[in-house]
Amino acid sequence: MQSKPALRHSSGHLHLRPEASLQPEPFIVSASEAMRNVLVLANRVAAGDAKVLVTGESGVGKDLVARYIHAKSTRAARDFVAVNCAAVPEPLLESELFGHARGSFTGAYRDKVGKLELAHGGTIFLDEVGEMSVRMQVLLLRFLENGEIQAVGAERASTRVDARVICATNRNLSEMVASGAFREDLLYRIQVAHLHVPPLRHRRDDIRALIEHTIERTGRHLCVSDEAMRALEGYRWPGNVRELQNVIEQLVWMASSDVVDVDDLPPVTRAEGRAALHVRERRRQMADDLYAELVSGNFSFWNQVYHLFLNRDITRHDVRELVRKGLVTTCGNYKALVKLFGMPGGDYKRFLNFIAAHDCSVHARSYRDGHGAEPLPVVSVTAAAADRSSRARGSGSSPQS
């Protein structure tokens, strides 16, 4: 939908045009702790006006989160204007964002108002910001510094725009900065607050709820058998929520009965889902057995578990699963876990060194409140908070955290 431009005053300042109708708040499925954390942070940043960078793989819901922040903000009654920086060819992106004056290039038959100006009073969403050319990055940086826009072909900057800026990307912008493809100063400007939406395979608790939500939206009645649901929950979903929606919609419209069984699933989902399920169940069983033997005192960690691992009878995944079980019991306390597994307190360092050396460490922080193991999303609301959060993250990677 094309928005009408803000009203321009003779001084060149923009007046807010009458309020648009309130956009409904998008519904975000958040059955997993990781997604609930994303929403908590989204609500927190929505209360302020800080620039937000939303990152995550393709199809995880970055667009949805950006719309949610806008809908929860004090700008909700104004426009949310989205620009996909990857979809607009580079020569046209400047005009798309800043507008152009009539005659400024071939085909510019009349003045055109840019998207930044259209977002005055509201939110501008710069999607796929990592695809911007270096020249466009310079122009965007200039706008972020003073809020002024200069239309292509205009003699001077004429308008000051007040738009909340939300950017999104599925690229690793820090790596792009390191390779010189993205400006470091621009990255700092756009990620005053940073929200990372984890891939669906890292928040499997959302899968069932997303399937139910997608079926409900089609208005059809369809049940998914337990086995089919387990296979779908075990699948890796490389295309994330978008892929899930496509698979479920296809099932809904192709289903010959009211129940979807595992044989109705697309072959890749079925095969991978079943295999993953099998591996997870075996691993869980192994960890359960080792745990029971350790806490009952039948096994000693160093005499049995350690040797089973060195002899490759169990894998690092099994050890990690065992550590996870211990952390659940001890609410994220590694010292208590050492005791629980029957080791003397003096073995604490040796144990930590062992799990770190073999990549079996598990973040303790997410078990502190007694919940599951989803990694926390990252947020940095101010530069100082960014500092604090990166320090916290740094220490979080050590099991002692």
Ligand X SMILES: Nc1ncnc2c1ncn2[C@@H]1O[C@H](COP(=O)(O)OP(=O)(O)OP(=O)(O)O)[C@@H](O)[C@H]1O
Which option in Mg ion, ligand X, none does residue 245 bind, with CB closer than 5 to 8 A by kind?
Answer: ligand X
99 and 108 Cβ atoms separated by less than 8 Å: no
Give the Cα separation of 17 and 346 in Å (integer).
69
Give the Cα separation of 150 and 170 in Å (integer).
29
What's the 3-state SS for 40-69? HHHHHHHCCCCCEEEECCCCCCHHHHHHHH
List interacting residues with ligand X (CB under 6 A): 28-29, 35, 56, 58-64, 170, 213, 241-242, 245
Nearest CB to Mg ion, comparing residues 176 and 328: 176
Q: How far is the CB of 136 from ligand X (least distance, A)?
A: 19
Q: How far is the CB of 308 from ligand X (least distance, A)?
A: 40
Q: How far is the CB of 244 from Mg ion (least distance, A)?
A: 15
Helix (H, G, I), strand (E, B) or coil at 255: coil
- Judged by CB under 5 A, the number of residues near Mg ion is 1
Neighbours of 305 (CB within 10 A): 22
Which option in ligand X, Mg ion, none does residue 28 bind, with CB closer than 5 to 8 A by kind?
Answer: ligand X
Give me the residue label for tokens 């890292």: 202
Which option in ligand X, Mg ion, none does residue 338 bind, with CB closer than 5 to 8 A by kind?
Answer: none
Which option in ligand X, Mg ion, none does residue 99 bind, with CB closer than 5 to 8 A by kind?
Answer: none
Give the Cα separation of 7 and 14 in Å (integer).
6
The reply to whether 57 sits near Mg ion by the rule CB under 5 A is: no
Point out which span in 59-67, 171-179, 319-327, 386-394 binds Mg ion (CB under 5 A). 59-67
Helix (H, G, I), strand (E, B) or coil at 281: helix
Nearest CB to ligand X, comparing residues 161 and 241: 241
Give the one residue of 49, 57, 63, 205 binding Mg ion; rule: CB under 5 A: 63
The reply to whether 131 sits near Mg ion by the rule CB under 5 A is: no
Bridge partner residues of 53 (DSSP): 167, 194
Which option in ligand X, Mg ion, none does residue 59 bind, with CB closer than 5 to 8 A by kind?
Answer: ligand X
Non-local CB neighbours of 330 within 8 Å, separated by 6+ positions: 336, 337, 340, 367
Which residue number places its CB atom closest to ligand X?
Answer: 61
Give the Cα separation of 93 and 84 in Å (integer).
9
Point out which span in 56-64, 159-167, 226-234, 393-401 binds Mg ion (CB under 5 A). 56-64
Summarize as ranges the residues that interact with Mg ion (CB under 5 A).
63
